[in-house]
Amino acid sequence: MSRSRFSLGVTACLLAGLQRELLLAVRSPGNTINPLMFFVIAISLFPLGGGADTVFLSSIAPGVIWVTALLAVMLSMESLFRSDFEDGSLEQLLLSPQPLYFQILAKVFGHWLVTGLPLVLLSPLLGLLLALPAQAYLPLMLGLLLGTPTLNLIGAIGMALTVGLSRSGLLLAVLVLPLSIPVLVFGAGVVNAALNGLPMAGLLAVLGAMLALALSLAPLAIGAALRISVN
């Protein structure tokens, strides 16, 4: 009976946190649109600067899309905890009787839904812009679907550590970029494997394992970092 009540409480906590994040996203559309616009504009510059050589564009497309997705995720991180820190609701989150682990998980997942998922859905169109062959579209989306939540969780750790600083952009980049390199390598590797006719199941499995590890450990690290920053 107690286990059932705990499950219901966790589910209610997750749903409430997710609903709150989606409501905040609707009220502040700029926090959602800005990273997406950066993603589109930055990738659009490569065909303009690199010329019309489709062979060259298709060869750099996986790396360009993944690196730009990482930068867009980092740009969106500024809105994750900043407003909560400024209005005092972050302290209430830390003092809440609900499990902090699940509250953070709901917050990061809601943030990914409004900032990361649009990147995944838009990636085939930008792949077309970079002359990426059609057989690479699905692997690109699958890789981003597994990789962008991991990048969000890693970025949330850095943002939690720097939320109390007025200018945290450079420090956030120093903290997050080294941890994001494996995700970029395997994510771009999935697309390259599809382009060369090689099996990609192993690379997707590694991305899935990274996501599972991040889901298990990142909320704990984020909670500890928030307590340090708030106190």
- Quote the domain boundaries for residue 169: 2-230
Distance CA 120, CA 149 (A): 11
Provide mean pLDDT across the span 136-163: 91
The per-residue pLDDT for range 161-200, each reduced to its tens digit, is 887 676 666 677 777 888 899 999 999 999 999 988 889 9
> Average pLDDT over the chain, rounded to whole?
84
Q: What pTM does this model have? A: 0.87
Domain count, the chain: 1
What's the residue count for the chain?
231
The per-residue pLDDT for range 68-90, each reduced to its tens digit, is 999 998 888 877 877 777 777 77
The per-residue pLDDT for range 16-34, each reduced to its tens digit, is 667 777 777 677 776 778 8
Q: How confident is the model at residue 1 (pLDDT cuts 50, 70, 90)?
A: very low
Q: 222, 100 in Cβ contact below 8 A?
A: no
